[in-house]
């Protein structure tokens, strides 16, 4: 490896030189990320399956049942704010470990909960961990070269869909004969595996370099270099943050140049306010990212969490007239078909990214496709039949899933290193507001709710297309030119 006479290089320089090697550390990081995302997706989808059973067991009112459901979303929202800041302050690896501990322990404890209050506390803990699901994605993005960052990150997003489908299949096999507690216990096993694997991760060399721990960053990069090329970094090379590698440094910049650097990657001001809205570029980027984050959950979560409610099969007493409200049976075939729409959508997005389509274009195209599809439920002949409902929800899920995936890809590369996880966390917190808003519209008539969802999707199209380049993105302006 040669660096043109440079003796000070950034981790991004090194990653670009050594590329990506399947079977090495980068692949291991991808696997940990996929297991983490899949397990956390399963925990979210789990709630929709077990909630009716929990309601019956604890004899809950509708409001008490809603509070149990809201506990995990409250945990997610709080986790988005807290975990991102912790990841930027103390490192990615400790946050990934803490998140897996919360999801696993909270999952096992949920299976043993003996009261509604205990269950809510457990689900809140799970939500805290799920709220940090973006941290390993950011860590993965920092370990990828430009040319395959989007496809590797999309593989992690695809694992979200795998987790949703997997818990649906397991629920169909276990929930009726064995009960919700065993299903909650099984759902906690994958995050336990992710937790054990996380201890073997290295800290992100990009984060280490930017906080001034260059020697540790070099050791982490040496592992990748030896696996990918057979050689460690040359002797005498110093690994430093982006701020210290160029000819233009913070010490030699005037005020305008410092502002330009800070709006791109590796700049000097890591405050939340500046990176979110400190100049017009940052403000516009944040508005676009938050719009996309809100819209994707506003449309996606309502479909995912509402599927078991729509496809609950009514049970009757021997007289054939009296409905048994305390017996819960789902139409698992219908739920599985609807949930498989995530796999179809995210796999299609992966193929688009492999063909070098920009994730902005993928997100905008999916939003545009979703708008006319939203109005299909207004067709009475489809609404009144089982397979018509299956079809309606399936066509909604296929384009909805990639919008969320592209949002995560763009958030993971948007902000400079020392604010990357915090910025991504804030966007995910906004996304949680989208989920809460969608849930508040369940009782609205379709003629009113569908145009509202359509307007949100229309807003997502320009938000995706005109979003400014991020700190890690290929083609981002050079440091001195960032304004």
Q: Which residues contact 69 (CB under 8 A, 6 or more apart)?
A: 47, 51, 439
How many structural domains compose the chain? 1
Helix (H, G, I), strand (E, B) or coil at 316: strand
First to last CA, the chain: 32
Q: What is the CATH number of the domain that holds 359?
A: 1.20.1250.20
User: Do 438 and 301 touch, CB atoms closer than 8 A?
Assistant: yes
Convert the pLDDT of each residue in 193-222 to its tens digit: 999 999 999 999 999 999 889 899 999 999
**Model confidence at 306: pLDDT above 80:** no
Residue 90 has phi, psi (to 5 degrees) of -115, -5
116-130, 305-319, 331-345, 367-381: the lowest-pLDDT one:
305-319
Convert the pLDDT of each residue in 441-480 to its tens digit: 655 666 777 778 788 889 999 999 999 988 888 666 544 3
pLDDT the model gives residue 304: 54
**Model confidence at 232: pLDDT above 70:** yes
> If 0-12 CB within 10 Å is exposed, 13-18 middle and 19+ buried, where does residue 408 land?
buried
Q: Which residues contact 249 (CB under 8 A, 6 or more apart)?
A: 243
pLDDT the model gives residue 252: 33
In a domain, 250, yes or no: no
Q: Which residues contact 271 (CB under 8 A, 6 or more apart)?
A: 278, 419
User: Do 188 and 129 touch, CB atoms closer than 8 A?
Assistant: no
**Model confidence at 154: pLDDT above 60:** yes
Average pLDDT over residues 245-249: 42
Distances (CA, A) of 231 to 24, 145, 216: 14, 18, 17
Convert the pLDDT of each residue in 171-186 to its tens digit: 888 888 898 899 999 9
In a domain, 306, yes or no: yes
More confident of the two residues 264 and 14 = 14
Query: In what helix (H) or strand (E) does residue 9 lie, and over which residues does it extend?
Result: strand 8-9
In a domain, 246, yes or no: no
More confident of the two residues 474 and 391 = 391
Q: In the chain, how many H helices and how many E strands? A: 20, 2
In a domain, 290, yes or no: yes
In a domain, 273, yes or no: yes
Candidates 428, 437, 432; CA nearest to 456 is 437
Q: And the tokens for 441?
A: 């519209």
Q: Print the domain residue range for 300.
A: 8-213+267-474
In a domain, 126, yes or no: yes
Percent of the chain with pLDDT over 70: 80
Calpha distance 131→103 (Å, rounded): 10
C-alpha neighbours within 13 Å on the C-beta side of residue 207? 27
Helix (H, G, I), strand (E, B) or coil at 471: coil
In a domain, 146, yes or no: yes
Convert the pLDDT of each residue in 406-449 to its tens digit: 999 999 899 888 899 999 999 988 988 887 777 666 556 667 77
In a domain, 441, yes or no: yes
Q: And the tokens for 416?
A: 């400079």
């Amino acid at each position: 490896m040669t660096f043109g006479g440079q003796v000070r290089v950034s981790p991004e320089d090194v990653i670009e030189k050594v590329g990506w090697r399947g079977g090495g550390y980068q692949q291991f990081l991808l696997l940990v990320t996929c297991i983490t995302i899949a397990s956390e997706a399963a925990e979210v989808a789990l709630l929709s399956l077990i909630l009716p059973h929990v309601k019956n067991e604890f004899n809950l009112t509708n409001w008490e049942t809603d509070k149990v459901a809201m506990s995990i979303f409250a945990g997610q929202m709080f986790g988005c704010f807290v975990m991102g800041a912790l990841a930027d302050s103390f490192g990615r690896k400790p946050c990934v470990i803490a998140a897996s501990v919360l999801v696993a322990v909270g999952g096992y404890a949920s299976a043993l909960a003996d009261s509604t209050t205990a269950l809510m506390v457990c689900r809140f803990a799970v939500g805290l961990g799920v709220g940090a699901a973006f941290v390993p994605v950011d860590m993965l993005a920092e370990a990828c070269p430009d040319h395959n960052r989007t496809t590797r990150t999309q593989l992690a997003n695809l694992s979200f869909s795998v987790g949703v489908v997997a818990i649906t299949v397991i629920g169909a096999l276990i929930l009726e004969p064995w009960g919700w507690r065993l299903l909650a216990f099984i759902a906690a096993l994958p995050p336990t595996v992710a937790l054990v694997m996380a201890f073997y991760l290295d800290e992100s060399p990009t984060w280490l370099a930017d906080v001034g721990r260059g020697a540790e960053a070099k050791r982490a990069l040496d592992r990748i270099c030896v696996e990918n090329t057979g050689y460690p970094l040359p002797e005498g090379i110093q690994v430093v943050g982006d701020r210290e590698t160029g000819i233009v440094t913070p010490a030699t910049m005037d005020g305008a140049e410092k502002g330009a650097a800070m709006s791109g990657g590796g700049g000097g001001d890591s405050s939340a306010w500046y990176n979110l809205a400190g100049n017009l570029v940052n403000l516009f980027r944040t508005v676009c990212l938050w719009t996309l984050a809100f819209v994707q959950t506003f449309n996606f979560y309502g479909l995912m969490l509402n599927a078991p409610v729509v496809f609950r099969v009514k049970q009757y007493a021997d007289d054939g007239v009296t409905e048994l409200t305390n017996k819960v049976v789902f139409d698992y075939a219908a739920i599985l078909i609807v949930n498989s729409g995530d796999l179809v959508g995210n796999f299609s997005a992966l193929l688009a990214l492999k063909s070098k389509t920009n994730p902005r274009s993928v997100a905008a195209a999916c939003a545009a496709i979703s708008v006319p599809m939203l109005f299909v439920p207004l067709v009475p002949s489809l609404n009144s039949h089982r397979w018509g409902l299956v079809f309606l929800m399936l066509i909604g899920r296929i384009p909805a899933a990639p919008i969320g995936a592209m949002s995560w890809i763009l958030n993971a590369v948007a902000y400079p290193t020392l604010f990357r996880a915090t910025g991504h966390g804030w966007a995910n917190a906004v996304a949680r507001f989208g989920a809460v808003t969608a849930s508040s519209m369940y009782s609205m008539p379709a003629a009113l709710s569908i145009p509202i969802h359509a307007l949100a999707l229309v807003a997502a199209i320009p938000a995706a297309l005109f979003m400014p380049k991020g700190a890690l993105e290929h083609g981002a302006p050079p440091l001195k030119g960032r304004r």
